[in-house]
Amino acid sequence: MTAIDHTAASSTSDPIRLDGQVALVTGAGGGLGSLIARTLAGSGAHLVLVGRNAERLTALSNELRSGGTPVHTMTADVADPQSVRELAVRVRSEVGRLDILINNAGVTSPKSLFDLSDDDWRRIIDTSAGGTFYCIRELAPMMIERRYGRIVNLGSILSLRGMAMRSAYSAAKAAVANLTRSAAFELGPHGITVNALAPTVIVTELNRDLVQAQPQLYEGVVRRSAMGRLGELDDLILPLRFLVAPGAGFVTGQVLCVDGGYTAG
């Protein structure tokens, strides 16, 4: 495990560089989480990778370390409040600080209202909405102590719109959007911004099979979008870098749609 250099500068003359800052990413083992981690590492951040799949976290951490990024990996289930409490204890003891929190972990299920089981509903709500809440509650105190922080929650176009076969996911992401706005008011006086990214369908390993299995549904998303396509992972890089940047300290409580114009109509 690579130790984090706490003597590194926490700011720089470049308003989007993250040199010396510590960033924690949940759901880091997935396609989107991996992209987020690589983006933050490329901006100079030190990484804490969190997820349930230790093998994936190890593979990503080895890749990032080979490029010179200090990385800690920690397994946790963000849907379990006790697991998140234990995660916060580990971050404090092993890392010692936290500047950036990316609440990325989430799951979905392509089922109708009547086919969603109680377990499906709880798993989706508890991971996306519950996990975001638990991580803010347990990890933001380290930011409050330093009077600085950037929190970015992963929402969705379904934070603002509905879609058939996505009732639980839409409900969870709508909760994330309003949690973002409310947390911004509570944490703003402590120098902490809280924003959400609300992407359109971004093709990742989480939903690749769903996109292929339900072409008519996703063709509808494409037709409604001004840009006429689904999202790609690279579409999120610059919006993410902006929201976590030191220079974005007056932007908070926002849900930034990265959707090719889907929500414009």
Is 169 one of the annotated active-site residues of the chain? Answer: yes
- Report how far residue 152's alpha carbon sits from residue 133's, in angstroms, rounded to the nearest whole number: 12
C-alpha distance from residue 177 to each of 59, 94, 156, 211, 256 (Å)? 31, 31, 9, 24, 10
Q: Tokens standing for 29?
A: 């083992």
Active site residue: 134, 169, 218, 262, which one?
169
CA 120 and chain centroid, separation: 21
- Report how far residue 228's alpha carbon sits from residue 207's, in angstroms, rounded to the nearest whole number: 19
Dmax (CA) for the chain in angstroms is: 55
Buried b (16+ CB within 10 A) or exposed e, 72-105: bbbebbbbbbebbeebbeebbeebebbbbbbbbb
Q: Residue 182's closest CA among 257, 248, 174, 84?
A: 174
- Report how far residue 248's alpha carbon sits from residue 61's, in angstroms, rounded to the nearest whole number: 28
Q: Which amino acid is at 45?
A: A
DSSP 156-224: -GGGTS--TTBHHHHHHHHHHHHHHHHHHHHHGGGTEEEEEEEES-B--TTTHHHHHH-HHHHHHHHHH
Q: Tokens standing for 108?
A: 């979905």
Which residues are marked as active site?
Answer: 169
